[in-house]
Amino acid sequence: MFRTHTCGELRLTNTGKNVTLSGWVQRIRDKGTLLWIDLRDRYGITQLFLEEGKTPPEFIELARSFGREFVISATGVVAERESKNPNIPTGEIEVRITGLKLLNASKLPPFTIEDKSDGGDELRMKYRYLDLRRNPLKNNLELRHRIALETRNYLDSQGFYEIETPYLIKSTPEGARDFVVPSRMNPGEFYALPQSPQTFKQILMVAGYDRYFQIVRCFRDEDLRADRQPEFTQIDCEMAFVDQEDVLNTFEGLARFLFSKVKGVDVGPFERMDYATAMKLYGSDKPDLRFGMPFVELNDLTKDKGFSVFDEAELVVGINVAGCSEYTRKQLDALTDFVKKPQIGAKGLVYVKYNTDGSLKSSVDKFFTEEDLKSWAVRLDSRPGDLLLILSGKTDATRKQLGELRLEMGNQLGMRDPQVFKPLWVTDFPLLEWSEEAQRFFAMHHPFTSPKPEDVHMLDSDPGKARANAYDMVINGVEVGGGSIRIHNRELQKRMFTLLGFTDEEALNQFGFLLNAFEYGAPPHGGIALGFDRLTALIAGFDSIRDFIAFPKNNSGRDVMIDSPSVIAQHQLDELSLKVTVEKK
Amino acid sequence: MFRTHTCGELRLTNTGKNVTLSGWVQRIRDKGTLLWIDLRDRYGITQLFLEEGKTPPEFIELARSFGREFVISATGVVAERESKNPNIPTGEIEVRITGLKLLNASKLPPFTIEDKSDGGDELRMKYRYLDLRRNPLKNNLELRHRIALETRNYLDSQGFYEIETPYLIKSTPEGARDFVVPSRMNPGEFYALPQSPQTFKQILMVAGYDRYFQIVRCFRDEDLRADRQPEFTQIDCEMAFVDQEDVLNTFEGLARFLFSKVKGVDVGPFERMDYATAMKLYGSDKPDLRFGMPFVELNDLTKDKGFSVFDEAELVVGINVAGCSEYTRKQLDALTDFVKKPQIGAKGLVYVKYNTDGSLKSSVDKFFTEEDLKSWAVRLDSRPGDLLLILSGKTDATRKQLGELRLEMGNQLGMRDPQVFKPLWVTDFPLLEWSEEAQRFFAMHHPFTSPKPEDVHMLDSDPGKARANAYDMVINGVEVGGGSIRIHNRELQKRMFTLLGFTDEEALNQFGFLLNAFEYGAPPHGGIALGFDRLTALIAGFDSIRDFIAFPKNNSGRDVMIDSPSVIAQHQLDELSLKVTVEKK
């Protein structure tokens, strides 16, 4: 037997007990006649104690041969410590060794196994099994396990069945790029890995399953931006006989339950905001509501004063940054540089300092009187001591730029505390977006999203204006998930495909099974998918998902630990009737 | 709102209540002035009632336009039925219609949506969304959901974390054939889909996670035998600091918990049997213990009586079939035909009838006296009225043949009741098996399985004889899962790879990350993987797994509903730097 207890469970009440523990050597202190070993496992750390004259000498000798991360098994008697450690639950006891065994030696790890590691990213990824030993990662994966389990139990309690859908499905051109899987038994043909189980969950609604969920892996072969993974996990859900309100309430319930259960936080009822308002007030379809600074439009107040930049702008819009009128020239220049970065793309930044003495000073004093500036301040609800930041230009672009600036100000002013949570639903997304590049409409959510009934008539007259029964769950400026009420009518679905540029033949070839299913009694239905990696990181209070995934890939889609992808054998290619058209080094 | 209640919940206590229900039309009975609709959803069936003169005429007209599987919504008042149906929970009430709405029409389904469908297999697969509406499939998927949830909660209560491992991994030549996934970002290179998360779960043990599980999809590109699927689901588990006994007890605990929780059956403690005994007594490494009929060897009693078939046989072995001495000539001929089928491959069958009058009559009376036959009967513990069935030949082949015959007799005598459960552990499997074809050893379980410590010395002298710390969970003759204690020592693992014909370079190239991990403090560990599709079918009392999978593939690996696999676009191939070397029609 390797152990009677774990390294996290012995207490003073166990004093005198004979125990066996196994684990990793975290640290050894050798004070000549006395020797301590901190033994670590998943459950905690327990101090082992050896003493010359009392502990059999062969064990002292053995202990002196141990190094960091050696795996050992130790038997001994639980005793009260002389100097207690109040920081760990086992800190009042130690185990006085009567037996000791080396289970496996360890080379010196290439970085320290401590909460703050000294290893760089690539090294930590290559030796992921060592990185995963560190407490922060262990806590992340435990949290992930806990959230998955609680999600399942909650949805079960709400009448949802978890139903597994296939991973080997069919490639479809709409949406992101598919990963494909050549079929040996059907030469020249390919499966695709699912970008989401969308059509299958709709089929399950047609099949009468009423409430479906699945915590499921999804795959997208996209060029990886930072913090995107080619495979990621979704909490995928669908419900029949519901309208938007039912879906929102159900998953607001889930999210509030999770925050309360695993985090002990009541995030309160979710705010609701339609897409148009979110764009107008925050320049984003995922506004961070941990702080205010809503946009205020100033076109009418800035017009015809001789400042051509504003006069020619479609939109002049500002935010009020409280208490920042004392920003220095350097700080203001830095903000101007920030908005002029290519990723943001503004041409310049106008500021107005509303000084504590009541005077106003701006970067456009040449064109505007103090009275003009005062009128802006009034509209922005500014007070003496505040700073007004104003951008102008094309409406959509300017809003996006000011949205970025608003977030930056939130960061600078410490108003984005990761342990504060402000959830909201953004609703009434546009159904379609026009692609200048492709010169056609794309579905903003996906091709199965239902237009709002009152907007269906626009599909002929002005499709770009039609709103969808689509919604996003947004927390702290992060899109946690999104969903929609779906089309359940064959004719409407065909019309959507036509709008998206499918020929009838293409639509039938790709989605014929769904169109057919709609003819055999398809109920009204809708659902949502939440990004599970993202949700877990968010609940933990982190931005990056990478350390919430046990074995993530790097930005080139490689798993550097196992060194994958890799070349395969010629006979594998032959069996698959495939030829590689590039030279591999 | 589509409904206030489901179709399964209204009772007499709801009488007088105004309700709205939605669902599918299961059946309409039109008796002129009276009209009944059976409305179905996932939760049950509720009778709707319409009456000329009382129900508004437009709803009666609308109802007459409905057909089977139409989706409708109905509002009305709950009332006590005149003629009650004791067979369904809602059978005492009906809903008297005050409002009725068609939500979606339905074409006539190509087969009936009843417990016993009239649809053939291919048709049912093509219209899977209709097949899934039938109660038997719905019950199967609900059971599957329930078992998954209970498994997770049980393993969580035992300190296991569910940790997701990647689906895009690396192709390895050992084991079955991999499905591969071309990487666009790494041209000419491929990921592979996991046949199991084996190496990742071992890495998690090295990383200190102590107890891991995952209900996870696995992939094998094998030629599909009946009831095999290219993708299947495993309950995959691993534990550190354990020996075999710990693993067996933990998962015996899980299995007993599941049977008790979802089936209400206490299957009792598992029997244990080593591989050698299972082969000797039942000719199978997965004996069905719902009935006896153990093998009894007769070489010494049959020797030198002039029957050359027995004299030249390595093994003469029989079973006693109780109460079958009256089998007719025709029945006995059929048994002979059975064992001579090519899949079984015996040359012939010897029988002895131990008649109720105490006399003995055999198919080899020419060579053996009644006293000889009596001595066989004594050894086989036969009684008057029994039938002895005897095969002979090469040991392994004969055992296998008699094993098949024993199962056939179990079937014929109704001793294999699918609602009776006899679980056992088969232990001490051989470590390796010799392949005549490849002229090398293969791992019987997998290359990471540890030899029994007392057999390690045989790896040099007689590797084929070494036994492994490997075990299978067998229930009713079905291998539900298997596992082993793993190697956790780099040198021993390298030695195994060498035995399996890997060069050092190949071993490093394929499994270098694992060999390296073993050098950084790898704990002793072991685990198991249970076939989740199989386990679910077994608990339900079924042989075939297909109707326990929502969207299975057919025997050519095709999903006939979505028509996949399929050809992909040329630009997809180009992006992947691939060329298909066969002509597609």
* pLDDT (mean) for B355-379: 96
Q: In what order do the strands lie in the sheet with A350-354?
A: A296-297, A315-321, A386-393, A350-354, A360-362
User: Which of A111-120, A556-565, B26-35, B179-188 has the weakest average pLDDT?
Assistant: A111-120
pLDDT tens, position by position, A512-535: 999 999 999 999 999 999 999 999
pLDDT tens across A39-75, in order?
999 999 999 999 999 999 999 999 999 999 999 999 9
Helix (H), strand (E) at residue B78 = strand B71-80
Element (H, E) at A278: helix A275-282
H-type alpha helices, B312-351? 329-340
Give CA angle at A457 (A455, A463), nearest 5°: 75
* Separation between Cα atoms, residue A88 and residue A76, nearest integer Å: 20
Please identify which residue in the block is written with the tokens 């079937």: B411
C-beta atoms of B2 and A217 within 8 A: no
Model pLDDT, residue A11? 98
pTM of the entire structure?
0.96
By the CB < 8 Å criterion, does A191 face chain B? yes
Average pLDDT rounded to a whole number, residues B24-37: 96
Please, which contacts does B120-127 make with residues 24 or more away whose CB atoms are closer than 8 Å?
B122/B554, B122/B560, B125/B552, B125/B554, B125/B560, B125/B561, B126/B560, B126/B561, B127/A520, B127/B561
Residue ranges in A456-542 assigned as alpha helix (H): 458-461, 490-499, 504-517, 532-540
Looking at CA atoms only, how far is residue B157 from chain A in angstroms?
11
**Which of B104, B163, B193 lies closest to A489 in CB terms?**
B104
pLDDT number for residue B585: 52
Q: Which two tokens stand for residue B391?
A: 């095969």
Cα(B7)–Cα(B1) distance, integer angstroms: 15
User: B161 at the A interface (CB within 8 A)?
Assistant: yes
Q: How many Å apart are CA A208 and CA A241, to the nearest integer? A: 10
CB contact under 8 A, B521 and A105: yes
Mean pLDDT of B518-537: 98
* pLDDT at residue B223 in the model: 84
Using the predicted structure, report yes or no on whether residue B351 has a pLDDT greater than 90: yes
Cα(B411)–Cα(A246) distance, integer angstroms: 52
Beta carbons of B364 and B391 less than 8 angstroms apart: no
pLDDT, averaged across chain B: 96
Nearest Cβ partner of A580 from B43, B152, B577?
A: B577
Indicate the pLDDT class of residue B438, thresholds 50, 70 and 90: confident
Contact A71 B107 (CB under 8 A): no
CB pairs under 8 A between A and B: 356
Containing B401, the helix (H) or strand (E) segment is: helix B395-412
Q: Please give the helix or strand (H or E) that residue A37 lies within, else none.
A: strand A34-41
Fold of the CATH domain A291-412: Gyrase A; domain 2 (3.30.1360)
Tell me the pLDDT band of A543, cut-offs 50, 70 and 90. confident
Q: How does strand B18-31 pair with strand B71-80? A: antiparallel
Q: Which fold has domain B138-273+422-571?
A: BirA Bifunctional Protein; domain 2 (3.30.930)
Q: What is the pLDDT of residue A584?
A: 61
For chain A, give the longest Cα–Cα distance.
95
| Band of residue B118 on the pLDDT scale cut at 50, 70, 90 | confident
Q: How many CA atoms lie within 13 A of B52 on its CB side?
A: 7
Distances (CA, A) of A70 to A101, A165, A241: 11, 43, 58
- Using a CB–CB cutoff of 8 Å, tell me whether B568 touches chain A: yes
Chain-chain contact of A170 with B233 (C-beta, under 8 angstroms): no
Asked if residue B530 has pLDDT above 60, the reply is: yes
Question: Does B101 score more than 80 pLDDT?
Answer: yes
Mean pLDDT of B439-457: 94
Collapsed DSSP state (helix, strand, coil) of residue A323: coil
Beta-carbon contacts of residue B551 (< 8 Å; ≥ 6 apart):
A165, A166, A200, A203, B128, B559, B561
Which of A332-336, B202-206, B497-501 is predicted with the least confidence, judged by mean pLDDT? Answer: B497-501
pLDDT given for residue A190 in this prediction: 97
| Residue A77, both tokens | 């008697």
Query: Is the separation of the CB atoms in B42 and A210 below 8 Å?
Result: yes
Distance from B471 to chain A by nearest Cα, in Å?
Answer: 19
Among the residues of B418-503, which ranges form H helices? Answer: 458-461, 490-499
The answer, yes or no, to whether residue A309 has pLDDT greater than 80, is: yes
Long-range CB pairs of A14-19 (<8 Å, 24+ gap) are: A14/A78, A14/A93, A15/A78, A15/A79, A15/A80, A15/A93, A16/A77, A16/A78, A16/A79, A17/A77, A17/A78, A18/A75, A18/A76, A18/A77, A18/A98, A19/A75, A19/A76, A19/A77, A19/A78, A19/A95
* Cβ–Cβ contact A169 with B under 8 A: yes
Residue A130 near residue A233, CB atoms below 8 Å: no
Between β-strands B44-51 and B93-104, what pairing exists: parallel, antiparallel or unpaired?
parallel
> How does pLDDT run across A355-370, given as a tens digit for each residue?
999 999 999 999 999 9
Q: Which two tokens stand for residue B157?
A: 């209560």
* A125: enclosing H helix or E strand: helix A121-126
Q: Chain A: nearest CA to B268, how far in angstroms?
A: 25
Q: Is there a contact between B185 and A551 if contact means CB atoms under 8 Å apart?
A: no
The helix/strand count (H/E) of chain B reads as 17, 23
**Residue boundaries of the structural domains of chain A:** 12-104, 138-273+422-571, 291-412
What was the pLDDT predicted at A172?
A: 82
pLDDT of residue B584: 61
Instruction: List pLDDT tens digits, range A146-180.
Output: 999 999 999 999 999 999 999 999 988 777 899 99
Residues of A in contact with B199 (CB under 8 A): 562
Pairwise CA distance, residues B273 & B129, whole Å:
44
Whether A398 has a pLDDT exceeding 60, the answer reads yes
Is 3.40.630.30 the CATH number for B12-104? no
Q: Which amino acid is at A21?
A: L
Percent above pLDDT 90 for chain B: 93
This complex has an ipTM of 0.95
pLDDT for A175 equals 76
Chain A CA closest to residue B166 = A551
pLDDT in tens, A421-453: 999 999 999 999 999 888 999 999 999 999 999
The answer to whether B379 and B297 are in contact (CB under 8 A) is: no
Mean pLDDT calculated for residue range B547-563:
94
DSSP B366-399: TT--HHHHHHHHHHTT--TTEEEEEEEESHHHHH
pLDDT band at B543 (very low <50, low <70, confident <90, very high): confident
DSSP state of B52: B
Residue B382 above 70 pLDDT? yes
Q: Which residue of A has its CA nearest to B169?
A: A564
Which residues of chain A neighbour B581 with C-beta distances below 8 Å? 577-579
Mean pLDDT value across residues B42-68: 97
Q: Report the distance separating Cα B195 and Cα B167, nearest Å.
A: 10
Asked whether the beta carbons of residue B559 and residue A169 sit closer than 8 angstroms, the reply is yes
Which pLDDT score is estimated for A585? 52
Q: Is B567 on the interface with A (CB under 8 A)?
A: yes
* CB of A497 closer than 8 Å to CB of A472: no
Calculate how close chain A gets to B461, using CA atoms only, in Å: 26
What single-letter DSSP state applies at residue A111? S
* One fold for A12-104 and A138-273+422-571: no
CB contact under 8 A, A69 and B161: no
Residue numbers in B near A567 (CB within 8 A):
188-190
